[in-house]
Amino acid sequence: MSSFKITNETLADGICACPAVYEDAESITGLLVRTAEWLRDRGSNQWSGLLEGQDTHDIMGSIENGHVFVFKKGEELAAVVMLLPEPSEWDQTLWGDDGHGASIYLHRLAVSRRFAGQGLGARVLHWAETAIDYPGKTRIRLDCVADNDALHSFYRRMGYEFMGADASGYHLFEKELAAE
């Protein structure tokens, strides 16, 4: 299990954050697949593996380990994010050998289309940076496909620094967390 402390469970508009539980798995998987379909329909291959049944980030294992967080309005799933306190094999491949001890790895941030256009993605990202404390972690790292310019722009607006491109076609971003 993860060692973390949520310091703020409430986002704006009555949306609450909490660790995902096994009962959330079906709705989380559905949201991720619908998001992958939406991305595909807009010409992006981001998360295309999900449409082929691949789960490179082990959603079920990550739920069991306390690394997946859901954002709900009442009982309705509005968004999800995965925060890994240790690098996955994927992260180690993309990032190499340096900086893992101080890093949180953000994956699978998805917003339900019903809540899209309301700034929820930015609020979830901000929540991951400020409303959950992982002792000893000083930065968040994330990646996305190299051809998703809108997502690159979003991460830069949110204060993430472009750290380079991986040879396999991914862009790497990192943000230092504010000191307490």
Q: Is the pLDDT of residue 180 over 80?
A: no
> Domain range for residue 137?
5-176
Domain count, the chain: 1
Dihedral sign (CA 168, 58, 26, 132): negative
Poorest-pLDDT segment among 25-29, 65-69, 114-118, 164-168:
164-168
Q: HSE, CB side, 13 Å, CA atoms: give it for residue 48.
A: 9
Instruction: Note the pLDDT of residue 150.
Output: 87
CATH number at 41 reads 3.40.630.30
Angstrom CA distances, 35 to 13, 50, 89, 107, 114, stand at: 22, 10, 23, 13, 12
Q: Is the pLDDT of residue 163 over 80?
A: yes
pLDDT-derived band of residue 168, with 50, 70 and 90 as boundaries? confident
